[in-house]
Each structure stands twice: as structure tokens, then as C-alpha cells.
Amino acid sequence: MKHLKTLIHNARHRTLALFGALVLVAGIGMSTASVAQAASGTGQITGYQGLCLDDRSASTAQFNPIQVYTCNGTGAQQWTVGSNGSLQVLGNCLDVNGAGTANGTKVDLYTCNGTGAQVWQPQSNGALLNPNSGKCLDDTGFGGSGTQVQIWACAGSANQSWNLPGGGGGGGGGGGFVVSQAQFNQMFPNRNSFYTYSGLVTALNSYPAFATTGSATTQRQEAAAFLANVDHETGGLVYIREIDQSGNYCASESYGCPAGTYQYYGRGPLQISWNFNYYAAGNALGIDLLDNPDQVATNAAISWQTALWYWFTGTGNGGVTSHNAMVNGNGFGATIRAINDIECNGGNTAEMQDRVNDYQSFTSILGVSPGGNLTC
């Protein structure tokens, strides 16, 4: 396993760069502006935790519950996106019970009738808006397999983010992601089973601009850059939690450290740390990470979301986010500065070069040039 020793050193010092990257902005990447209706297609609709939208027991009965369920490829999970805004399964439609408008109204199966209760408009943050109620399709309570879906006020949260067949509704997810599952497995042959490809795809729904902005070359370069930094931070997606958890990453903030003074160590693909980063990431994602930071180490979709949150918001001492660095031509070196500035300007050339090596390897897998400005 590479970086077994250096991970301990880097994870502790990388957090100094994160300290300068505090962004207390709720709803980053969560615009509710409507986007064009997804093209017609048939396939699974994936949501929070990589679960699929499912017609319970494959029943065609009126008012049969629609739930989230472990993806299994059956007909109960094969949804057709209609040109009229409907979502159809087994010859029936996804329907807001009684054309209700209140939070918590159940969503079930009903004969397709073209009413407003059966119209679903994909949003730029992956949400599915029912315009008749002004509410969004919701995996209620961030529920697990078997939870019936409902409508709730649109919040831009992870449990309201869905990926339609062909990647629609979530921008960069599913079949639209420039990295295939086979390529992901090639990049991370020894990864921990916690870091799932489906978890990453689900997380992409919250950040539709990731690896979808600019030319095809730029999109692949951004995906490679993100995953290369992830590879370095986690030793090839092996580590979920920071090895050395003895550090005090509890900064003096009004909200304090309710989970415990020593509970804000690095976790996840980019090893997010410090109480203020958990607080800001949680606000942006609609998840209470300040009180429950270990969600980053126990829920694959949330874990990937925190990494993408930092990718889109953190600048470290570089003044530019990693996303902007890749789409605006600053080059891979600027992402290193945003994530761990201490490696730059000769601070730790070997560790910086390891990131560059990973990036060059991943761009090769994706069949694209790495571009210039690789170091910092």
C-alpha cells in the first residue's frame, strides 16, 4: 500500500490548507432552476445511497407504493421518461397521491392520465420537481431500501437528487459520467469496498457541473484530476478515516464541536477535517455533519459529496477552486495548491509528484492529454 507513512503526515498538514478554505454558503451546487426535460429513454432511476426508484412488488395496482430499493434490474425499476413529463413503469405513472400539495404526501402508482400530479421536471441539481405542488420527489428521512417516496419542499439535499436514464436530471451521473465503472476499477484495483462507484455517481447529482463543463478533453481532465487527488489522499481509496486521529481539529467557532473535540479528523475521499469544514459541508449538502461527522465514513454517497463540495468551494491558499482550475486552464498544479498547499514551492516535492503521477496515469486511462501546468 503506498503512502502508509506519508498519509499520516499529509492528512494532518493538509488540514492547514483547508483552514483557509472555509466557505459558509448553504446550497452550493443546489440551484433549483429548471432545465430542459430529459430525452425519452428507459432504465433505472437512481437516488440517494445509490438506491433505485422501485414499484413495490412489481404491482400494477392503483396506489401501489413507489419506494427506493436495492437496484436489481427488474421491470419494477425500468422507468420510461415521457415527453409530457411523466415517469412510467409497468404501463402506469409516478403519481402524487390525490394531486396533493402538502409536505409528506405519498407518491405512488396510478393510471397515466396527463394531470399535473404526474408531471416531473428535472432540475439542475438533480431534483425532480412536481410543478403542480411546487414540491420535489423525496427519499423521506434519507431512508434506506423499502422507504416509500413522498413530496417535500425542495431543499437541494441529497435525498432529493435523482439520476434519470441516460444521466438526465443529474447532469454528470450514470451513463453520462466520463469515467466508466470499468475505468474506475482500473484506477483503484485495491480500493476499500466502502468507496463504491454507485456512491460516486449518486454524489455527482449534487454537482452537475463536475466533469460536464467545457470540451470533452476538459471534462476528462477534470475527472482525472479529482480522482488523482483522491488516490493520493486515501492511498488508492484504501483509507476511509485518517490514520492518526489524535489531532485537535476543533477551531473556536460559535457552534463549537458538539461531536467531541477530537472527532473532526480527516474522512472520505479528500479527507475533510476541522469542525468548520464539517459545518460548512453539512450546510451545503443539507446534512448534519457537525453533530454526526462520521456519516462521511459510513455513507458512500455522503462521503463522495463532501469531496466534491471541497472540489467546488475550497481554494486553500491558491485563490482558485479545483473545479475552476481545471475548467479555466490553470492546470492540475493549481488543484494541488487548493488541496494541500504545503506540498508546493518545494515544500514536499515527492508528495506533489506522486499526485502528478496519479493524474498522468488516470488521463492515460481516459485517453486524454494531461495538459500543462502540472506542478505547483
pLDDT of 171 above 60:
no
Is the dihedral angle over the CA atoms 164, 165, 171, 175 positive or is it negative? Answer: positive
pLDDT at 281 over 90: yes
pLDDT score for 126: 76
294 vs 48, higher pLDDT: 294
pLDDT at residue 277, rounded to an integer = 94
Confidence of residue 124 (pLDDT cuts 50, 70, 90): low
pLDDT of res. 56: 97
Above 50 in pLDDT, residue 4? no
Instruction: Specify the pairing of strand 92-96 against strand 105-110.
Output: antiparallel
Over residues 192-197, mean pLDDT: 91
**107 pLDDT band (50/70/90 cuts)?**
very high
- Rounded mean pLDDT of the chain? 84
Helix (H, G, I), strand (E, B) or coil at 92: strand
Catalytic center residues: 233
Q: Quick check: 166 pLDDT over 60? A: no
pLDDT of 232 higher than 70: yes
**Which of 3.40.50.300, 1.10.3720.10, 1.10.530.10, 3.40.50.2300 is the CATH number of 6-29+172-365?**
1.10.530.10
Please give the backbone phi and psi of residue 328, each rounded to the nearest 5 degrees, phi first: -105, 5
Calpha distance 160→143 (Å, rounded): 11
- Distances, alpha carbon 274 to alpha carbons 11, 17, 34, 85, 191, in Å: 11, 11, 35, 43, 25
pLDDT tens digits for range 87-101: 999 999 999 999 999
- pLDDT at site 32: 27
CATH of domain 42-167: 2.80.10.50
Is 0.85 topped by the overall pTM? no
All structural domains of the chain with their residue ranges:
6-29+172-365, 42-167
Q: Quick: pLDDT tens for 26-56.
A: 222 332 222 223 334 677 888 877 778 999 9
138-153 confidence digits (pLDDT tens): 999 888 889 999 999 9
Alpha carbon distance 85, 164 (integer Å):
12
Of 59-73, 162-176, 216-230, the one with minimum mean pLDDT is 162-176
Q: What is the DSSP letter of 120?
A: -
In this prediction, residue 178 carries a pLDDT of 86
